[in-house]
Amino acid sequence: MRRPLLLIVLLVLVAVGLPAAAYDTAPAARAGKSGCQASGGIEVCFSSPPTRPGDPTVLARPSALFDAAGPGDSIRVAMFRWDIEPPTKALIAAQRRGAEVYLVGDDDLRLNSRGRRLIEKLEAQDPARKNVTICRGACLPWRAPGPFPDSQNVQHLKFYVTDIGGVQSFITSSANLEDRQYRQYNSLLKIDDPALYRFGTEYFARLFDQSLTVGGRTWDDRRKTFDSGTVSATVYPTRRDLLLATLRDVSCRPGARDVNAMFAVIQRADVRAELARLSSRGCRVRVITTRDTVENWMEARLPQGRLPRSAVRTTLTHDKMLTVHARFRGRPTFLTVTGTSNTTCGGLLYNDEVMVRILDNRWLHDQYAAHFDDAWRHSHQSRSPVMPVMKPCRR
């Protein structure tokens, strides 16, 4: 009787007009990690293009957020690339309804018609104030002597600070608002927290003014870090890297030894060495990148140890995330690190970036771990024999 009953229930749901997304996405959610979930003031969204082709989940979430904004609300967006229509229309409409809207963009936004239209509309609809800053290169000063590495020195953020309906949020994602991101693994993290929101607005103000000094207050690297105990955030360019510091404080024991890292690009020798060290000291380390040659480099033998070939794979991912179930500073925990920065010299020292770490949150860890496992199932071993040479970061 169970199957006929289930069919009747589904027919009733359709008849009463249940939104298509409510039943349409269920098979994809079961097959892969696609969708948004929230708990305790934290929301996460994930895309799974192999199981849901053209997965819109992560790219659609900002549009839904913009759609909710109106008079008295504020939206601050810092975006590297932007060439799709839905968030363009939604942000322009939010400003038209009375929301304060500010945009910091990389010069890349001027290279396509939707980016140019967005810039023009945001300024034209609210002529009483400056609404847009377009940075040529990174908005904030480098933390290295230069010259900058190839394809670096950019405003690389996918970052939102919003105050909508009285909820103050700090949001970071791996996804640019561009068409090709529909075909890549991505994630988005939204944290509702007034203190973190204030930290985000201070960073945004500096990006917007293209200066480390705002209101007579100058930021050095120490001020580029927020820490509430369980939630930490670091903004870049800086020499104080949240990801590297986290890896150095991890140790493994039986029953608490899982380390999963998925970064579109890994080029930093210090991060590679820490992952190899953890693997050699009892951690079960798995790594996903999006380039076969980077996979080869990650598997090279090092004084600290070696990542087994079976522990490193590649797939079409744009994500930047780390999950750890192990000891952190000697204490067992579940932690997650995510944000906008690839593990490159540019992502540390030359680009505008943000990274966030959340400690002691089993629910969030499990969400990101399931996202990683989904990508792992759809990844493969390197198919290229090329071994690249990665230059060390100049500090």
pLDDT at 121: 98
- Hey, how many other C-beta atoms are within 10 angstroms of the C-beta on 212? 14
The token pair that represents 119 in the structure block: 């810039």
pLDDT at 1: 36
Q: What is the pLDDT of residues 267-297, one digit of tens each?
A: 999 999 999 999 999 999 999 999 999 999 9
**Structural domains of the chain sorted by starting position, each given as residue range(s) with its CATH number in brackets:** 33-223 (3.30.870.10), 242-377 (3.30.870.10)
Helix (H, G, I), strand (E, B) or coil at 252: coil
Q: Compute the Cα dihedral for 140, 141, 143, 146 and give only its sign.
A: positive
Of the candidates 195, 154, 161, 177, the residue with the CA atom closest to the CA atom of residue 318 = 177
Contact criterion met (CB below 8 Å) for 155 and 135: yes
Contact criterion met (CB below 8 Å) for 359 and 333: yes
Identify the segments of the chain with pLDDT beneath 70.
1-31
Residues 6+ apart with CB under 8 A from 16: none
pLDDT at 9: 34
DSSP code, position 107? G
Q: Give me the residue label for tokens 């990683």.
A: 372
pLDDT at 391: 87
Q: Give me the residue label for tokens 């996460």.
A: 44
Looking at the DSSP assignment, which residues form a beta bridge with residue 101?
75
Q: What is the pLDDT of residues 314-372, one digit of tens each?
A: 999 999 999 999 999 999 999 999 999 999 999 999 999 999 999 999 999 999 999 99
**Terminus-to-terminus CA distance in the chain, angstroms?**
69
Of the candidates 86, 130, 80, the residue with the CA atom closest to the CA atom of residue 105 = 80
Of the candidates 152, 336, 207, 355, the residue with the CA atom closest to the CA atom of residue 261 = 336
Ramachandran class of 166: left when φ > 0, alpha when ψ lies in -120 to 50, beta otherwise: left
Contact criterion met (CB below 8 Å) for 256 and 326: yes
pLDDT at 21: 32
- Hey, how many other C-beta atoms are within 10 angstroms of the C-beta on 210? 18
Contact criterion met (CB below 8 Å) for 287 and 261: yes
Helix (H, G, I), strand (E, B) or coil at 269: helix
- What CA–CA distance (Å, rounded) separates 363 from 359? 11
Q: What is the pLDDT of residues 186-213, one digit of tens each?
A: 999 999 999 999 999 999 999 999 999 9
Model-level pTM greater than 0.85?
Answer: yes
How far out from the chain centre does Cα 291 lie?
Answer: 18
Q: How many CA atoms lie within 13 A of 87 on its CB side?
A: 27
Of the candidates 295, 320, 356, 364, the residue with the CA atom closest to the CA atom of residue 184 = 320
The token pair that represents 70 in the structure block: 């109106």
pLDDT at 241: 97
pLDDT at 394: 86
Contact criterion met (CB below 8 Å) for 172 and 339: yes
